[in-house]
C-alpha cells in the first residue's frame, strides 16, 4: 500500500495553516468561487483562485473582482499573472484588500496568449525580470507570497531550482513546480524526479504538480520528488472531489459531502450549475457552465445519447438545461462508485 500519511498533516505557509497537503490547482476559467467551494467542502487542503491578470485587475476591468472575491473559506488564495511590476504590486494590494490570505505568482502557465505577453512560464526565460516581479509583490503586501512554476522553458533551460532558490531569498513562502517544461505543454509524462532538484535547493515548502489523479499517484509523486504537498489540476474535470478524496484516503476516512447515488449526483450538478448562474448572471453563467456540464456527462454519463448531450450543451433556457440534466442522471437511480480519483 502506498504511504499517504504525509498528506494528512497540516502545512504552514508563511504563518498560514493549511489543513492538509492535497491542493486544488489554480485553473483559468475553472477554479472560480463555486468550484473552489465544492473542492473545499470535499476536503481539499487548499484551493486557489483561477489565474487573474494583474493588469486588468489593477485597471478595474469589469468582472475581475469576481475572481478575487472572498468566498468565506478559511484560507483565501489568489493567483496573479502579469509582466509589469507596478501592476503585479497593485493587483496584490487589491487582492489582499479583498481578504486574500496568500498571493500566488503565476510563472508556469504555458498558454500562448499568456507567454506571448511575456507572462506565465515566459518569465522563466528572464530570471532577473521574474525576480523584480517577486520583489514588487512581496514588498506590496504583508500576506505570504508563493510562486507556481514549471521545470523551465525547455529541456535546455531547466532553471526551476535557481528560480526557487532566488524566490526564497526574496521572501517567497512556498513554491509549486509542475513537472514539465513550458514547451511540453501537457504532453508526455510529468517528470516527478526532476522536482526533487527544486526541493534540494530550498528550505521552504515545495508542492509537486503534474499527472496526479489517485492516492497511489499522490504517494508516488511525494516519494520521487521529496515534496511537502501535492497540487492537482486537470483530474478535477467533472470531479471537484478529487483532492479531498485523496486527502481522505490519507486518513482512512470517506470523502466528505459526496453524492452517493445518481439522483444525488443530479442534485449536485444542478446546484453547481445554479451557483454559476447566480455568480455570473444567467447569460454568462450559462455559457461558462457548459464545459463543466460536458465534463460531468463525460465522466458520469458516458452512455448519454448524442442528442441529449447536444441539447444540454446548447440550450439557452436554464430551466430546460436543468430538466435535461435530471432526466439523464435520475432516470434510473443507482448507487454510484465515485472513487476518490476516478
Active site residues: 109
Q: Do 119 and 109 contact (CB within 8 A), yes or no?
A: yes
Half-sphere exposure of residue 268: CA atoms within 13 angstroms, side-chain side: 24
CB 67 within 8 A of CB 50: yes
Cα angle 330, 235, 217 (rounded to 5 degrees) comes to 125
Give the separation between CA 41 and CA 18, rounded to whole angstroms. 14
Question: Phi and psi (nearest 5°) for 339?
Answer: -65, 160
The string of DSSP letters for 224-258 reads: HH--SEEEE-GGGTT-TTHHHHHHHHHHT-PPTT-
How far the first Cα of the chain sits from its last, in Å, is 18
**Other beta carbons less than 10 A from residue 279's beta carbon:** 17
Is residue 233 a contact partner of residue 209, using CB atoms and an 8 Å limit?
yes
- Contact assessment for residue 138 and residue 104, using Cβ atoms and an 8 Å cutoff: no
Amino acid at each position: 500500500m502506498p504511504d499517504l500519511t504525509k498528506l494528512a498533516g497540516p502545512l504552514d505557509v508563511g504563518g498560514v495553516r493549511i489543513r492538509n497537503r492535497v491542493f486544488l490547482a489554480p485553473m483559468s476559467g475553472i477554479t472560480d468561487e463555486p468550484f473552489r467551494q465544492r473542492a473545499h467542502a470535499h476536503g481539499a487542503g487548499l484551493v486557489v483562485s483561477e489565474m487573474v491578470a494583474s493588469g486588468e485587475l489593477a485597471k478595474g476591468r469589469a468582472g475581475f473582482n469576481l475572481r478575487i472575491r472572498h468566498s468565506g473559506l478559511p484560507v483565501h488564495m489568489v493567483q496573479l499573472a502579469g509582466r509589469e511590476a507596478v501592476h503585479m504590486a497593485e493587483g496584490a494590494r487589491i487582492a489582499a484588500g479583498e481578504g486574500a490570505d496568500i498571493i500566488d505568482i503565476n510563472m508556469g502557465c504555458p498558454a500562448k496568449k499568456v507567454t506571448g505577453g511575456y507572462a506565465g512560464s515566459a518569465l522563466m526565460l528572464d530570471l532577473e525580470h521574474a525576480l523584480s516581479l517577486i520583489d514588487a509583490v512581496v514588498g506590496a503586501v504583508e500576506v505570504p507570497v508563493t510562486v507556481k512554476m514549471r521545470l523551465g522553458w525547455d529541456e535546455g533551460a531547466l532553471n526551476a531550482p535557481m528560480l526557487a532558490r532566488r524566490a526564497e531569498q526574496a521572501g517567497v513562502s512556498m513554491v509549486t513546480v509542475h513537472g514539465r517544461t513550458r514547451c511540453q505543454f501537457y504532453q508526455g509524462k510529468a517528470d516527478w524526479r526532476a522536482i526533487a532538484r527544486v526541493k534540494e535547493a530550498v528550505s521552504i515548502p515545495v508542492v509537486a504538480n503534474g499527472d496526479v489523479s489517485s492516492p497511489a499517484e499522490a504517494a508516488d509523486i511525494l516519494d520521487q520528488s521529496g515534496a511537502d504537498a501535492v497540487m492537482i489540476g486537470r483530474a478535477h474535470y467533472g470531479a471537484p472531489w478529487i483532492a479531498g478524496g485523496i486527502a481522505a484516503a490519507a486518513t482512512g476516512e470517506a470523502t466528505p459531502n459526496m453524492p452517493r447515488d445518481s439522483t444525488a449526483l443530479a442534485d449536485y450538478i444542478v446546484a453547481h450549475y445554479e451557483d454559476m448562474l447566480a455568480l455570473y448572471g444567467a447569460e454568462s453563467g450559462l455559457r461558462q457552465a457548459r464545459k463543466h456540464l460536458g465534463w460531468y456527462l463525460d465522466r458520469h454519463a458516458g452512455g448519454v445519447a448524442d442528442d441529449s448531450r447536444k441539447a444540454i450543451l446548447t440550450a439557452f433556457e436554464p430551466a430546460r438545461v436543468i430538466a435535461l440534466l435530471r432526466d439523464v442522471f435520475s432516470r434510473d437511480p443507482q448507487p454510484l462508485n465515485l472513487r476518490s480519483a476516478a
